[in-house]
Structure formats: C-alpha cells, structure tokens
Structure 1
Amino acid sequence: MARTLISIAQLLIAVALLETGSGLQGVVVPLEARTMGFSNLAIGLLGSGYYGGFILGCLAVPALIHRVGHIRAFAGFSSLVAAGLLAHTLLMTDALWFGLRMVVGFGFAGLYIATESWLNDLAPTATRGRVLAAYMLVSWAALIAGKLAFGWAGPVDSVPLVLAAIAVSLAILPVAFTTMQAPGAQAGAPPVLGRLLAVSPVGVLGCLGVGVANGTFWTLAPLFAEAGGLDAMGVGLFMAVAILGSVFTQWPLGWWSDRVDRRKVIVFTCLFASISGVVLAGSFGRDAHVLQIAAFAFGASALPVYSLCVAHANDYAPNQAFIEVSSLLLLVFSLGAVIGPPVASLVMDMAGPAGVFLFTAGVHASLVVLVLIAISAGRAASQAEKGAFVAVPRTTQAVLALDPRAAGSGAPGDVATLGETEGEPPAVRDDAGFNGERGPEEKETPGDPPPA
C-alpha cells in the first residue's frame, strides 16, 4: 500500500490544491456577490449556474479526455477554472457571473474526472478501497483548509478569488512534471436513465432531495453566517466545522446502516438534519459558538445522507450495474443542487437569512415522510442482498470505479446497462407500486455474500 500511495502522491498533491481552491471560492463568491448588491435570487442562481456547468462537464468531458488525454485535459481545465475565477474580479453583473459560474463548474467537473479516472488506472484492484479512502481524506482536509483560508485572507477586494485561482493553477505543476504513465484513452459508456427510478425510488428521491438541501447549503450558508454576525474567520469556520461533522459521522452511520434497514438510518439522519436546520435558524444572530455547534450537528447529519441513499439504491441493483446506478444518482443529486439555491433564495426574501435553514429543514422533513411511506409499503433488503457501506465522494462518476463495490462492474470504464445485464432483469422495488418487477426477495442468488 505504501508503494501505491507513493505512486499517486503527485496526483494527491494536485487534488489538495484543487480542493483548497474549490473550498475558498465556494465561500467568497456568494459573499462577494452580496457586497456587489446582487439580490438573493441572483445569488441563488449563481449556485444553479455552477451545478449546471458541473452536470454538463460530467456528460461531455469523458469524450474530450478520450481525444486529448489526461495531462492535456487537466492543464486545459485548470487554466479554464483559473481564468473563470479571475474574471469574477473584472465582470461585475449578475448575468455575467452566472455564465462564469457555469464555466467554473464545467472546469471543476473536468478536473475531477481527469484526476479520478487517473487514480483508478493507477490503483491495483486489491488496494482501491484504501486509495479511495486516501483520496477522500486529502479532499476533506483540503476543502476544510480552503474554507479556513477565507478567514485568513478576509473579504479584502479580490484577494480570496485570486488565491483560489493561484491554488488551481498550481495544481498543474505536479501533473505536468509527473513521471507517471498517463492512462490510455478509454471511452466509457455514457450513463442512461433506463429504469433507475424503478430500481430504487427512495434512492432517487433521496439523492434529489439531498441535492436540493446541500446545494442550498453550499451556496447560501455563507450569507447566513455573515448576516448572523460572524466575521471572515467565523464564516470560514462555520463552513469548515460542518464538513468536519460529516467526517466524524460518515462511517458510524454507514456501519449502522449495514446492520439494519438502511431506510431507517436515512429517516434518522434526515430527521436530525431537519431539527439541526430549525436550531440553526433559531440561533441566527446569537453567540458564534452556538452557531458553530449547530453547524457541526447539521453537517454531521445532512452531508452523509447522499452516501446512504447511494448505498440503499445499490442494494436493489445488480452488482454489474453499480457504476451506472451511482453515476445516475450523482446527476440526480446535481439536478437537485441546480433547483435548490434559487428556491431557497425566495424563502430568504420572505423569512430573512434564517430562511436558508428553514428551507433545508423542510426538505429533510419531506424526505422523512417519503421514506416512512416507502418503509410502510415495502420490505427492506436482506443482509445477504446488502452491499457494505462506502462513503461516496460527491465529485464525478470517474471516482466510482475506485469504490470496492464496483469490483463486479467489469473493467474500468465499462458500464452495465440496467435491464441488459446477464440473466434476468435487475431486482427492483424498494417500495410498493412497481407491478411486474421483481423485488429483493426474488433475486437469483439471495444467498450470495455482498460484493467486496
């Protein structure tokens, strides 16, 4: 394993620089937009623009990398993101910023896909799970560092945006000067919608709702923190402790969900996230320590829900379709993140800054109701049918091949199509209402152990 980590060290350094820049720009853009007098709706649409560009990147970038290779693609997308961030300091209208957010989102999708597919190529099958863990550890640490860097830089003119652009630009160096062999050009099968909703309604609706709530959080929470009286360091810390909360609870919640009906854990986390949102809204303008503690609780409950929903959906999908299902759920999440921020901004207009978390509380409460209905309508997957929980990075579909659960999905880049796998159609129906489709109890090999 040590030899593997040494071989990917240059890529992990690049990831650290990318995530630092990403974390920093995620805080500064909404706050700078507020300074420039943008309306709540305009700021919400900036978040939609970023995630819209991210979706386009997830769909279009793999073919581009197939044509030009990983190193050229990485260098090009780094330049695109850096230029987009710097252009924020020159173009001062909300319409132009919306376009820039799409450019930056598209560029970050390209960077993540190039990096993650390269990591997958370098990682031996036996160590992919540990490589994924190292990747997530570096990503989380750098993302937290980026949030805290805003507190160090402060809202001084365009300094934070310039620093974010510098971090992204520097990420080119370990890639450009690497002696590692870049992967050969591979064209993966594009994800198709197929029968994803039939595979797991709870997984699909859960990822959509989580996208709505989390997209709102990343876009508008800095405005809430600043309006609540926190200084630059306080705003950065507010965002950082939320991420830290999710780091502490991802694996305990996953361990619990492996042993009980996963939907019950989703209900618990969504209920706790809803309560945390109400507490945050009620704590607006109070002591900074109260806000930080509430942010930790919100992150600990709201941010892990995506991984739980992905794990639940894959309990009901054939092993060969893991990458396809997870890729589609990522796009569903991103679609929710496009929808959430502008809708939440309208709630802010009516309820003030506290409306951000009143909105997320409502979304999480709705998910609680939907999942409880599903629990009452259909049975849970058995222990034999469930795969082991893995905390899923919410970046791009390229990282999914590193997930140990993808071992049965074929070679990297190969994607099984739902309904076209060997044997009978995939198992479906995590709740009632899908007549004629097989439930978990009708899988061909119910006694098989879960995928590695």
Structure 2
Amino acid sequence: MPDVPSHTPTDAAGATRPLLTRLVPLLVAAALLLGANGVAMTVIAVRGRLGGLSDTTIGVFGSAYYAGFILGVLVTPLLIRRVGHIRVFSAFAAINAIAILSLAVTPAGAAWAVSRLVSGIAFCGTAMVLESWLNALASNAERGRILSVYRIVDLGAITGGQFLLPAFGGGGPEIIVMIGLLFCAALVPVSLAREGNPPISDTTRINYLSIWRISPVAAVGCLTIGLTNGAFRTVGPVYAEGVGLDTDGLALLISLWVVAGAIFQYPLGWASDRIDRRWVLMLATVGAGVSCLFLSGMTAPAAIFLGAFLFGGFALPLYSLSAAHANDHAGPGQFVELAAGLSMFFALGAMVGPLLASAVMDRFGPSAFFLYTGGLHLSFVAFLAARLFTRDAVPASQRKRFVWLLRTSPVIFRLAGGQKPAKPRKD
C-alpha cells in the first residue's frame, strides 16, 4: 500500500503516516465490536431458554434488536452532524456495554427486549461511524483491499467470538461481563487514534418504490433473507438447544454457518458474473431450501453440523447476489442508495422473522424452524422462476462485478461502491 492516500486526509498529521498505521485502530475496534455483538446475539437466546422463557418471547428479543438497527440508521446521521463521529462512537459503545450488562441484573422478560432494542441502535451507530472512517481513508486504488480486510475481520471476530460461550458458560454473569468488557475495550483504540473526524457524508435518501422498480427480485430476495437468516441468527440457538446441542455444539453450529457463507461467496459470485444472476440465485436458494428440509429431519449432531454448513454456504451469499443483480439494473450513481435500501429490506424482514420463527417452534417444536426457513426459500424460488419469464437477462458485457457485501450498516456500501463523503467538517 502507498504511504500516502491519494485523497485529502482527515487530519494534517495523517498525511505523513502510512495507511496501515491509520487503519489498525479502526480494525481493532471493529473486531472487538463485531465479536462482542456476535456472541451477544447467541447468549441472549441461551439465557432466555435457561430462564424458562418461551420461544416466542425469545423471538421478540431478536425482533427488538433489528427494530433498533432500523432506528440506528435513522438517528445516527443526525447525532454525527451534531457532535461528531468520535463522540457518537464513544457514546454508543458505552450504551451497548450498559445494555448488555443490564441483563445480569434484570429479570428475563420485557426489560431484555428494551435492552436488545437499545443494543440494535448502538451497534448500528458504532458500525456506521467506523465505516465512515474506513470510507474516508480509502482511495479508489485501496478500496477493494480495505473492504477485503474488513471482511476478514468480520468473519474472524464473529466466528471466534462464538467460542466465548463454551469458555465462560451461558448461565452465569461471566459471559455478560466479558461481552461488556469487549464493548468498552472498543473505545480505547478509537479514543487514542490520531484520526480526526472524517468528512460528513450526505444522507442517502431511500426511495423504496424506486428500488422495487429497479429490481423486484432483489427487493423480495433481501426481505426473504431477513426473514430466514435474521431468524436463524437470533433464535437459531433455541433450535440448537431443542435438538440437544450443548454450548460447544452451538458455537460450532454458528461458526460453520458463518464460515461456509464466506467460502461459498466466491464460486457463486464468480458464476453470477458470467451467467444470468437469477439462475445462480435460484441455484443458491434451492440449495438453502433443500438444506433446511434436510435439517428439519435430523437429530444426530454430525448431520446437523453438515446441514448447517450447507445452509450457511447457500443462504448467506444470497444477499450479495441479490444486491449484485439489482446493481446490474441500476443507473449511474444509484449503487449506494440501492444497496442501502436493500439493507433496510433485509432489516425489515429480520425484524419480523425471529417472531414468526419462534412462534412456529413454540407450536410445532424445534424441527419446525427449518420447515419455516425452507418454505420461505422455496417460495422465493417460485418468484424467481416467474421473473425469468417477465424480464430479459442483463447482457454479460453490462453486468457489474459481484461484491461480497456485509450487513453491518448501510455506510459499508459507500466503501464498496466507491462513493466518497461529500462535505468536510468545519470544526
């Protein structure tokens, strides 16, 4: 990497420092946040079951988290304009620690739903700040490498964080304290970094009707993925407990799901750049649906782990494939608005999905979880099949390159799409 970025730095001292030196504090903070948030999503479900809560109540916690995420998207830009990135990051990291630590001193129930709502707002806010910094530091030549490193940090932190659960157990205060410590620790590298506030980006206005007109497949796909993947991430531990997995098995289940999604991104993305993306979307969606049906009938741990690996491998790339398909139909300059809108479609699905999935499990048992997810995936296949006959494929010469997108916050799409912040700060 070159020593000096090709664009105006966010602080005068930054002009003489290597880019890697400037990135390290942000990436360390991101790893701490992503790891803490990833294991927190698992721990909530585990503690809920240990506290005797119903599946539906635990589903409410998952829905509250994604409702908070949506609120975070709306309020964070307003707060950044008022007090700046560093203060917003510090406040939200502290708030997230408080929300998590409150679980150790409040009875399982309504207070936990409030905690998860607050956590959703706070995590979205911290992610938006970090990704604004990364976007400000990235020149066009370095953008792809920075995004790749950020993906590795995301994958490693979420996967590694899961194993804090078997290390500390799910029922005692230790795991809650550990998660709180990680959120607090994320304050340190950002507070001590020499970076100033990055330029403030213009707020992206999302026209959902316009997004639907650009690509109904992508809109329905992201909504479906939210209903399924969002549900698995927040109430999947309830399924795991119901089929007899212990905390080690649960950590392995989530890790296999995440790692497989990363592995399968590359061949599916490569194929989608060369043939009609809808056929690749259909293949992956069928694979996800069949994996779900397979899991719905399995009780042996080895079979469950295999099914989870295949499910993650086919299901997790669907989001990036849907966004790439939509981008093929987008006009110049529409990538960031389109991708941010699709992330909100996902969040809306993820807000509803945990509640629906947990209600199904409450009524029909843990194996019904994957009947729910499998049914939704196969319904999306039917929608895809119908669209194949109503819209021509985009010629290969006009397809945009497939990009593996994260769902940490809508700001990540500025980094992926190459859009720089528009207005520098005056203070």
Q: How many residue pairs align between the two structures?
A: 408
- Which structure 2 residues correspond to residues 431-446 of structure 1 after superposition, within 5 A? none
Unmatched runs of 5 consecutive residues or more in structure 1: 415-452
Q: Deviations over 1:189-237 (max 9, x none)?
A: 4333351111100010000001100111001111111222211111111
The match for 2:421 among 401, 409, 412 is 412
Deviation, 1:358, is 1.1
CA contact (8 A) 1:210 1:333 kept: yes
Confirm whether residue 345 of structure 1 aligns to residue 354 of structure 2.
Answer: no
Confirm whether residue 320 of structure 1 aligns to residue 329 of structure 2.
Answer: no
- Which structure 2 residues correspond to residues 357-436 of structure 1 after superposition, within 5 A? 357-403=370-416, 406-407=417-418, 411-412=420-421
> Residues 122 and 411 from structure 1, CA distance in 2 versus in 1: closer, same or farther, beyond 3 angstroms?
closer
- Which structure 2 residues correspond to residues 210-359 of structure 1 after superposition, within 5 A? 210-283=225-298, 285-286=299-300, 288-359=301-372
> Residues 26 and 413 from structure 1, CA distance in 2 versus in 1: closer, same or farther, beyond 3 angstroms?
farther
CA contact (8 A) 1:151 1:237 kept: no
Unmatched runs of 5 consecutive residues or more in structure 2: 3-17
State the match for 2:10 in structure 1: none
The match for 2:56 among 41, 51, 59 is 41
State the match for 1:425 in structure 2: none
The alignment yields a C-alpha RMSD, in angstroms, of 1.4
State the match for 1:427 in structure 2: none
CA contact (8 A) 2:48 2:58 kept: yes
Deviation, 1:411, is 3.6
Confirm whether residue 162 of structure 1 aligns to residue 171 of structure 2.
Answer: no
CA contact (8 A) 1:69 1:184 kept: no
The match for 2:155 among 109, 134, 140 is 140
> Residues 361 and 65 from structure 1, CA distance in 2 versus in 1: closer, same or farther, beyond 3 angstroms?
same
State the match for 1:92 in structure 2: 107
Q: State the alpha-carbon separation in 2 of the partners of residues 305 and 192 from structure 1.
A: 22
Q: State the alpha-carbon separation in 2 of the partners of residues 334 and 207 from structure 1.
A: 9
TM-score by length of 2: 0.93
State the match for 1:195 in structure 2: 210
Q: Deviations over 1:62-109 (max 9, x none)?
A: 121121111111110000000000111122142211111100000000
> Residues 302 and 413 from structure 1, CA distance in 2 versus in 1: closer, same or farther, beyond 3 angstroms?
farther
Q: Percent identity?
A: 36
Confirm whether residue 76 of structure 1 aligns to residue 91 of structure 2.
Answer: yes
TM-score by length of 1: 0.88
CA contact (8 A) 2:65 2:117 kept: yes
CA contact (8 A) 2:30 2:130 kept: yes
Q: State the alpha-carbon separation in 2 of the partners of residues 64 and 369 from structure 1.
A: 43
Q: Secondary structure at the match of 1:207?
A: helix
Q: State the alpha-carbon separation in 2 of the partners of residues 385 and 94 from structure 1.
A: 52
CA contact (8 A) 1:70 1:182 kept: yes
Amino acid aligned to 2:421: P
Q: State the alpha-carbon separation in 2 of the partners of residues 154 and 82 from structure 1.
A: 19
